[in-house]
Chains A and B, each alone.
Chain A
Amino acid sequence: MRMKSWRAGVIGAILMASCGGVAYAHHSFGAEFDSSKPVKLEGKVIKFEWVNPHSWIHIDVVGPDGKHVEWRVEGGAPSALLRRGWNRNSLPPGTQITVQAFRSRDGDTRASAAEISFPNGQQLSLGNPTTEAVIAAAKRAQGQ
Chain B
Amino acid sequence: MKQYLKLAAAAAVIIAGAGIADAQAQKKPAAAKPAAAAPAAAAKPAAKPVMKSGGSMATLGGHPNLNGIWQAITEANYNLEPHDSGDSPSGSRQVGALGAIHGGLGVVEGGVIPYKPDALKQRDAYRATAPRYDPEAACYLPGIPRATYMSFPFQIIQGEKGDMLMVYEYANANRAIKMGPVGVPSIDTWMGTSYGSWKGNSLEVVTLSQSPGEYKAPAGEMMENKTWLDRSGNYLGSNSSVTEKFTLIDKDHIAYEATITDPDLYTKPWKIKLTLYRRLEPNAELMDFRCVPYSEEFLYGDLHETKGPSGVGGEANAPAKN
Residues of A bordering B, CB below 8 Å: 1-4, 6-7, 9-11, 13-14, 16-21, 23, 25, 49-52, 78, 82, 86-88
Complex contact B174–A14 (CB within 8 A): yes
Please measure, in the bound complex, the distance between the C-alpha atom of A57 and the C-alpha atom of B138, giving whole angstroms.
25
Does B58 lie at the interface of the complex (its beta carbon under 8 Å from any beta carbon of A)?
no
Residues of B bordering A, CB below 8 Å: 1, 4-5, 8-9, 11-12, 15-16, 18-19, 21, 138-141, 159-163, 165, 171-172, 174-176, 186-191, 213-214, 292, 296, 299
- In the complex, what residues of B have CB within 8 A of residue A87's CB? 186-187
Q: A87-B187, A88-B186 are in contact. Are A23 and B292 (CB under 8 A)?
A: yes
Contact with B186, one of A7, A17, A25, A82 (Cβ below 8 angstroms): A82
- In the complex, what residues of B have CB within 8 A of residue A78's CB? 187, 189
Please measure, in the bound complex, the distance between the C-alpha atom of A49 and the C-alpha atom of B216, giving whole angstroms.
13
Complex contact B18–A3 (CB within 8 A): no
Complex contact A20–B18 (CB within 8 A): yes
The residue of chain B having its C-beta at the shortest distance from the C-beta of A49 within the complex is B214
Complex contact B12–A13 (CB within 8 A): yes
Please measure, in the bound complex, the distance between the C-alpha atom of A20 and the C-alpha atom of B291, giving whole angstroms.
12
- In the complex, what residues of B have CB within 8 A of residue A25's CB? 21
Q: A17-B15, A17-B18, A20-B141 are in contact. Are A11 and B292 (CB under 8 A)?
A: no
19 further contact pairs, Cβ within 8 A, besides A6-B9, A9-B12, A20-B19: A1-B160, A2-B5, A3-B160, A4-B162, A7-B163, A10-B165, A13-B15, A14-B176, A17-B172, A18-B174, A18-B190, A19-B190, A20-B190, A21-B140, A23-B296, A23-B299, A49-B214, A50-B189, A88-B186
Please measure, in the bound complex, the distance between the C-alpha atom of A50 and the C-alpha atom of B212, giving whole angstroms.
10
**Central interface residue in A16, A18, A23, A82, by most chain B CB within 10 Å:** A18
Q: A14-B15, A50-B187 are in contact. Are A21 and B162 (CB under 8 A)?
A: no
The residue of chain B having its C-beta at the shortest distance from the C-beta of A16 within the complex is B19
Contact with A16, one of B5, B16, B188 (Cβ below 8 angstroms): B16
- In the complex, what residues of A have CB within 8 A of residue B162's CB? 3-4, 7
- In the complex, what residues of B have CB within 8 A of residue A23's CB? 292, 296, 299
The 4 closest A-B pairs by CB, nearest first: A87-B186, A17-B18, A3-B159, A13-B16
Complex contact B190–A10 (CB within 8 A): no
Please measure, in the bound complex, the distance between the C-alpha atom of A18 and the C-alpha atom of B191, giving whole angstroms.
7
Complex contact A19–B189 (CB within 8 A): yes
Complex contact B187–A21 (CB within 8 A): no
Complex contact B140–A17 (CB within 8 A): no
Please measure, in the bound complex, the distance between the C-alpha atom of A34 and the C-alpha atom of B178, giving whole angstroms.
41
Complex contact B175–A14 (CB within 8 A): yes
Please measure, in the bound complex, the distance between the C-alpha atom of A19 and the C-alpha atom of B172, giving whole angstroms.
11
Complex contact A6–B8 (CB within 8 A): yes
Contact with B4, one of A2, A9, A13, A20 (Cβ below 8 angstroms): A2
Complex contact B18–A11 (CB within 8 A): no
- In the complex, what residues of A have CB within 8 A of residue B292's CB? 23
B134 to chain A, nearest CB (A): 13
The residue of chain A having its C-beta at the shortest distance from the C-beta of B13 within the complex is A13
- In the complex, what residues of A have CB within 8 A of residue B189's CB? 18-19, 50, 78
- In the complex, what residues of B have CB within 8 A of residue A10's CB? 8, 11-12, 15, 165, 176
B117 to chain A, nearest CB (A): 29
- In the complex, what residues of B have CB within 8 A of residue A16's CB? 16, 19
